Structure 1
Amino acid sequence: MTRLRFHSFALAALLAGSMGLAACGSGGEPTGDEATGGDLKIAAIFSGPTNDADYNAIGLAALNAAKENGAEVSFSEKVAVPDIEARLNEAVGDGNTVIWTHGSQFADATVKVAKDNPDVNFIAEYDGEYKDLPANVWTIDRQFHLGFYGMGVFAANLSKTGTVGYVGGLSLPFSFAEVHAMEQAFEESGSSVTLKPVWTGDFNDAAKAQQFTTQLLDSGADVIVGSLNQGATGTFQAFEGKPAGAGWVTAKYTDKSAAAGEHYAGSLEYDFTKPLADVLDKIQAGTTTGRYPLGFETGVTINVSDNVPPEVKTAVDEAMAKVKDGTITVKLDTSKVG
C-alpha cells in the first residue's frame, strides 16, 4: 500500500479553503508528493453545517487537508443521531476505504457498523477509552478535560470577584469532566474562586445562553467560560453595554473574537488536521485500530487575547507546559455535577 505523507497547514487557511470543498468528489489532481494516497477514499459525517465556523468547520478543514494530500474525499453534513447508521451504511456502499464520524454522539453506531464491515476502516470520536474496540476502528479521544484544566487556571487568574461561571449546552459526561477539571485547577493553584456551572439544554441556542450568562453576571460572576457551539454568541451578547474591564468571556473550538467584542479573553481551540493525518498514516501503515488522544501537543490550544494581562497568559502557558510534560495529571471525572 502506498504511504501518504501529510504536511502541516495553518488552521485559519484551512477554514477559509474548506468552504470550497465539494460535498462529493476530490477536486483537482494532486502533484509531486501529493500524488500518493490515491488508494484512500474517505467519507466524513458531520452533525451540523460545515460553514458553522465551529466544530464542524474544523472537521472539514482536516478533511480538506487529507484531500490536498491526495485522498479522494466526500462528506455528509447536518446528520442527526437517528440517521447516522443509515449514512454509515451508505458510505460503506459507496466504496469508501475510511469512514470518519465527527462527534462522540456517533461513536456507538460507528462501532456497530464497523463490526459488520471488517474490511473497511472507521474513525470514531469518543471521550475516554472505548471498551472492546473492533480491529478496524480508531478512536480520537477528545480529552476535553485537559483543555478545561487550562481554562480553570485562565479563569482563576482573570477573576476579581472570586466567582466564575461555566455555561454548557447539554449536561453530558464530557461537560461534567470539564467542570471537575476546572475545579481541580482552582484547588491545585490555591485559588479560592467559586465555580457556578449551568447548562442551557442546547449547544446552539444563543437566546438561552444570553439569559443564563446574564443571570451568572448578576450573581457576581465576572468570568464566563463557555462550552458551546453557535450558542456562544449569546454569552457575548450578555456583556453588551458593560464597560471595559467589567468582566471576561471565553469560547470553545475556534477563535470567535470577531463576534465577541472587548470582553473576549480567549478561546480553547481544537484542530483535527494533525490527528486525522496521523491516524490515516497509521491505517496506511497497517495499524487499523487504536486510540489517539488529543492534548496540548496534538490539536489543543488556549488562545489568549492581547487584551488579557500578560501575567495571566504566563500562568496559562505554565499550566499547559506542566500538563504536557506530565508534571500535572488532570483527572477524568465524569461524575454528575449538582
Structure 2
Amino acid sequence: MSRRGNLSEFSGLSRRAVLKAAGASAVLATAGLPMRAFAADPLKVAAVYTVPVEQQWVSRIHKAANAAKERGDIEYVYSENTSNNDYERVMREYCEAGHKLILGEVFGVEDAARAVARDYPDVAFLMGSSFKPDDAVSNFSPFDNYIQDASYLSGIIAGAMTKSKNIGMVGGYPIPEVNRLMHAFMAGVKESAPDAKFQVAFIGSWFDPPKAKETAFAQIDGGADLLYAERFGVSDAAKERGVLAVGNVIDTQADYPETVVASALWHFEPTLDKAIADVKGGSFKAEDYGVYSFMKNGGCTLAPLGTFEGKVPADVMAKVTEKEKAIKDGSFTVEIDDSEPKSN
C-alpha cells in the first residue's frame, strides 16, 4: 500500500498519516525558531514513545538521549508505551512544563503532532516520520532510520552464509522505514548469492515477540536457514532451530553468540546532537534530519562479528570493506527503495 493517501486509509495498517498542514502561526514566518539561544545551560528535552524503550528502534533514541544527558548537554525525561490517543496530550504537557526539544515517533499521529508544534512555536520538535519537512511548521523536523547502507553490508554477509539460499524475513509493517532496509539487505544478499530466494512476512505489530517467533518458525519450516530479524522474537526462533540470523538496528550478538552472524546498527547520536546544537544556537528549523542516519554521517555501521569473526569467508569480508569505503566516499550509493518487498 502506498503511504500517500488519506489519514483514514492508514490508521489501521501503518504508523503513517498523510500530512496536510493547515496554515501557520505568524510567529513562524522566519526559517528558524524564534527562541533564545540556550548557551551552556542543559537543554530540557522530553521524549514520547509509543513502545517500551527496550524496543529496537526507540532504544537507539533513548541511548543517544542518555549519552547527551551524561555529558551534561541536556536534561532528559520520557514517557513510554504512550497510546496514540494519549500522544497529543503528553506532548502538550511536556511543552507546558518548559521542555524546549520534544522527541518521539509520530507515525500514527502526524496531524495531531504537527498541530501541537504550531501551538508551541518556541519549542523544537524532532520526530520520527517518513514525511518531509513543512515550512508552514518551521519548528518541526522529521527523521527516520535511513540505515540502508549497513543493511546492504549485512546482506552481503548473509548471502555468503546461507546454504539453502532460502532466507526468511520478518518485519513489523510494510512501511518505508522497514521496506527500505529489507530491500537493501536483499540487494546485499544478491551480491553473494544471486539465486537466493526470500520469504517475506509482516506481523502487524511493532512489539509482539511471540508472533514474530511463530512467523519465523513457519519460514524455517519453509526451508529458510537464515533469518532477517527486523523484529524481536525472530532470533529466538533461529536459535531454537539452529539456523542463523541477521540483526537490525541493535547489536544482539552477545545474546545470540551462535546465531546472529551480523547486524546493521543505527546510531541516533549524530541526529540528536545536530538538533541539540541547533536549538541551543537558535537555528533549529524544519529540515530533514534523516540524512544523519547515513553511514557517511556516522548514523549507521555494521556491528562487530563477535563469535563469527573468521567464520565469514575472507573474500566476502574484503568485499564488505570495499563497499563500505565506497559508501563513505560517495562512489557507491545503496538504493533507497520504500516499496513493499515481496517473497519470490
Residue 237 of structure 2 corresponds to residue 237 of structure 1? yes
8 A contact 2:250–2:266 mirrored in 1: yes
Q: Structure 1 stretch 85-94 or stretch 273-282: which is displaced more?
A: 273-282
Deviation at 1:37, TM superposition (A): 3.1
Deviation at 1:198, TM superposition (A): 1.2
Deviation at 1:89, TM superposition (A): 0.9
8 A contact 2:39–2:281 mirrored in 1: no
C-alpha deviations, 1:158-180, integer Å up to 9, x for none? 22222222111222232222232
CA distance in 2, matches of 1:132, 1:239: 48
Residue 180 of structure 2 corresponds to residue 177 of structure 1? yes
8 A contact 2:257–2:307 mirrored in 1: no
The amino acid of 1:295's aligned partner reads F
Return the TM-score normalized by structure 1.
0.78
CA distance in 2, matches of 1:128, 1:152: 27
CA distance in 1, matches of 2:86, 2:58: 17
Deviation at 1:84, TM superposition (A): 1.1
Alignment partner, residue 250 of structure 1: 246
Root-mean-square deviation (Å): 2.6
Deviation at 1:248, TM superposition (A): 1.2
Deviation at 1:45, TM superposition (A): 1.3
The amino acid of 1:117's aligned partner reads Y
CA distance in 2, matches of 1:305, 1:221: 23
Return the TM-score normalized by structure 2.
0.76
C-alpha deviations, 1:44-67, integer Å up to 9, x for none? 1122223x2633333222222222
Question: In structure 2, the residue corresponding to 1:306 is in which secondary structure?
Answer: helix
8 A contact 2:239–2:258 mirrored in 1: no
8 A contact 1:101–1:125 mirrored in 2: yes
CA distance in 1, matches of 2:44, 2:209: 37
Alignment partner, residue 101 of structure 1: 104
C-alpha deviations, 1:142-171, integer Å up to 9, x for none? 214333222322221222222222111222
The amino acid of 1:121's aligned partner reads A
Distance 1:270 1:109, change over 3 A: farther
Gaps of 5+ in 2: 1-37
Distance 1:180 1:253, change over 3 A: closer
C-alpha deviations, 1:246-300, integer Å up to 9, x for none? x311222222234324122122222222321122112222321222221223231
Question: In structure 2, the residue corresponding to 1:122 is in which secondary structure?
Answer: strand
8 A contact 2:130–2:142 mirrored in 1: no
Residue 326 of structure 2 corresponds to residue 325 of structure 1? no
Alignment partner, residue 291 of structure 1: 288
Deviation at 1:332, TM superposition (A): 2.2
Distance 1:65 1:183, change over 3 A: closer
Question: In structure 1, the residue corresponding to 2:239 is in which secondary structure?
Answer: coil
The amino acid of 1:314's aligned partner reads A
Distance 1:47 1:213, change over 3 A: same
Residue 112 of structure 2 corresponds to residue 116 of structure 1? no
Residue 271 of structure 2 corresponds to residue 275 of structure 1? yes
Distance 1:320 1:197, change over 3 A: farther
Question: In structure 2, the residue corresponding to 1:280 is in which secondary structure?
Answer: helix
Alignment partner, residue 79 of structure 2: 76
CA distance in 2, matches of 1:85, 1:74: 16
8 A contact 1:180–1:333 mirrored in 2: yes
Q: Taking every aligned residue pair, what percent have the same amino acid on both sides?
A: 25
Alignment partner, residue 300 of structure 2: 300
CA distance in 1, matches of 2:209, 2:129: 26
Deviation at 1:205, TM superposition (A): 2.0
Matches within 5 A, 1:152-167: 152-167=155-170
Matches within 5 A, 1:48-59: 48-50=51-53, 52=54, 54-59=56-61
Question: In structure 1, the residue corresponding to 2:279 is in which secondary structure?
Answer: helix
Alignment partner, residue 68 of structure 2: 66
Q: Which runs of 4+ in 1 moved over 6 A?
A: none
Alignment partner, residue 192 of structure 1: 195
Question: In structure 1, the residue corresponding to 2:282 is in which secondary structure?
Answer: coil
Distance 1:46 1:313, change over 3 A: farther
8 A contact 1:213–1:224 mirrored in 2: yes
8 A contact 1:249–1:263 mirrored in 2: yes
Question: In structure 1, the residue corresponding to 2:283 is in which secondary structure?
Answer: coil
The amino acid of 2:83's aligned partner reads A
The amino acid of 2:294's aligned partner reads G
Deviation at 1:224, TM superposition (A): 0.7
CA distance in 2, matches of 1:65, 1:124: 19
8 A contact 1:106–1:125 mirrored in 2: no
The amino acid of 1:236's aligned partner reads D
CA distance in 1, matches of 2:177, 2:245: 21
8 A contact 1:145–1:174 mirrored in 2: no
